[in-house]
A and B are shown apart, each in its own frame.
Chain A
């Protein structure tokens, strides 16, 4: 279980996160919804350990993570830009996190095969990632994020840069995969239909604050204020 308590991040004058609190239960998927610049990505970076908060605390299963560096948190983060390693093959990208866990070559290979099968990329294992289409890159990034059994998966607008048709299909795939893997997850998007399709609860962010957290139907039925109402299009 992830527990974010009163986290504040400032970049100079600008407050990117203003006393944000958020809890994510075991195997729960929370959608993080908000316009660009509302602090969604910053929140993910704080949870991942890439951005130290000025105040507040992040803990997982009751353990404060302040002293745990990024690379020891065992969280998954799928970057909006995918951040695939350009000098590695598809298989090496997907296996990267597994190799960091000191698994044997056979174990890595087996798990990579599994992960590539989830996203239907089995035949592309030995391709260089720069030879892939946008949709294929997205799936490699997803497989790379999920392969090392992360304790929590964070997806930062994972389908944001793809065309509409593809997006719809992939959102369905991601939802199915997350359920199958039984991980907790945070799904960042600015599209409320995506959030609705994938999450158990939706957190709405505005100007660095979480203004409402509720299951999507409740959000529609009882928006906290007029801004939330107009943002989710009620």
Chain B
């Protein structure tokens, strides 16, 4: 193999992939938005103002509510050691990994549509972000700092304000930024729970493009949405760089809760877990409908209200597998290039991470308007897994890169001196060491693909319908049979997701060895 070929492949293939499947569609959207009705008209329309205002305020309120709901549990599991602490931390993460459509369906079952359901679903989904980000720092604050302040005469409230809060501020800011971003770009949940009145910009893009076939307006909305997200990310990066991150000790020996604290910790844990479990329990019970109707219809595969479910399950599984393969190949190559290069690594990294800051709806919309050239990909079954791969690749890169970076440079050099070409070095040294990380990446990609709804809702045709799109369809049909089937499918999807998470978790446990 030519020695220029391998670097060209590791950088070139991901660049071409992201370029054609992400940057080019984005360019098409921009073009369409400029040749459409025009931004001024969009800005002045009442529909836009409603959607923009709703997007903003629900994101702010959702973020605030998530912080409030998460802090008691964060306190309980990061200030005290008790049995089951790790298990609780893992359980809290479950909602975050659930597909948005499943979360939407669960809250639909719990309380129907409306703003309360949307806010509750956002809190449910994002709780783990706060618990994990803030808890990670909180559990590393040395308890003696607090004790020292107490000896110096500070009351508990005073100590929280003067010691704990400043130390937690960077983590709180970064958690808030992430939650805000997720809520700002929320699509599946709002589409299901918002009814006809409550729309985020994300939902509005979908309505304009799919229901009104007004691509110009949809394009303008996508551009506005993207610009807002970029600005928000820049502001949050700015804020976070200003907030000093404190070097805190390694996770210190936490004390067990004392008598009065014990009651508080128990109450917080039970209340939070119960609140998180409720929607899922309702999901399962409602799936049985009247006399097991959801499941029997699912198994019989006769189609519920003309929506067939078994082909969707098969599609979802196949797409997840194909997505995993594509994302691991492209993401793995990209991570290999990033781990080695210093020059130009920054821009390459940025290009790879761009899809992360872009909403899935925009990606799907871009596919719809751009991928008819040079060959019309839009009619092929490959379209859906390709879109899922675009969403998943940044995650695969993030998961594999640390391990690839941990491979010492001299190992690769030693292999090269012993006669291994760059491709051979990758196969003999990098690949065996990162194989596990790639497997974890494949799991992530499969989970993303299984739950992906934003992009899929644009590009899936009846023949390529996935479980999330079918759940959405069923929720929109009248009758208790459709509803029960939607619940049953949600349970299936949640179960599949959980299965992959458990497998990935076991693989991750084995990646701790340092090379």
Contacts and interface: CB of A to CB of B under 8 A. Distances in A.
B410 interface: yes
Contacts of A87: 432-433, 515
Interface of A: 48-50, 69-77, 79, 81, 83, 85-87, 96-97, 100-101, 144, 148
A48 B422 CA distance: 15
B420 interface: yes
* B interface: dominant SS: helix
Interface in B421-456: 421-422, 424-425, 428-429, 432-433
Contacts of A101: 419
A97 B415 CA distance: 8
Contact of B416 (A71, A81, A86, A144): A71
Contacts of A71: 416-422, 424-425
Given A77-B414, A97-B419, 17 more contacts: A49-B417, A69-B421, A70-B413, A70-B417, A71-B420, A71-B425, A76-B418, A77-B417, A79-B410, A79-B414, A81-B410, A86-B433, A87-B432, A96-B420, A96-B428, A100-B424, A148-B418
B411 interface: yes
B417 A50 contact: yes
B438 to A, nearest CB: 14
Contact of A75 (B415, B417, B424): B417
Nearest to A97: B418
* A interface: dominant SS: loop
Contacts of B418: 71, 76, 96-97, 100, 144, 148
Interface of B: 3, 408, 410-411, 413-422, 424-425, 428-429, 432-433, 515
Name, among B410, B414, B416, B429, the residue most crowded by chain A CB atoms within 10 Å (CB to CB): B414
Contact of B419 (A50, A72, A79, A83): A72
B466 to A, nearest CB: 38
B133 to A, nearest CB: 32
B422 to A, nearest CB: 8
Contacts of A70: 413, 416-417
24 contacts: A70-B413, A70-B417, A71-B416, A71-B418, A76-B417, A77-B413, A77-B414, A77-B417, A81-B408, A83-B408, A83-B411, A83-B413, A83-B414, A85-B411, A86-B515, A96-B415, A96-B418, A96-B420, A96-B428, A97-B418, A97-B419, A100-B419, A100-B420, A100-B424
Contacts of B425: 71
Contact of A79 (B413, B422, B424, B429): B413
A89 B130 CA distance: 44
B429 A85 contact: yes
A76 B418 CA distance: 7
Contact of A85 (B415, B416, B419, B421): B415
A97 B413 CA distance: 12
B172 to A, nearest CB: 39
B410 to A, nearest CB: 4
Nearest to B417: A77
B404 to A, nearest CB: 14
A85 B420 CA distance: 13
A4 B413 CA distance: 21
Question: Considering the complex of A and B, which 10 residue pairs feature the smallest CB-CB distances, nearest first?
Answer: A100-B419, A97-B418, A83-B414, A83-B410, A70-B416, A77-B417, A71-B416, A69-B3, A87-B432, A86-B515
Name, among B3, B418, B424, the residue most crowded by chain A CB atoms within 10 Å (CB to CB): B418
Nearest to A72: B419
Contact of B417 (A48, A81, A85, A86): A48
A97 B408 CA distance: 19
Contacts of A86: 411, 433, 515
Contacts of B3: 69
Contacts of A85: 411, 414-415, 428-429
A86 to B, nearest CB: 5
A90 B364 CA distance: 51
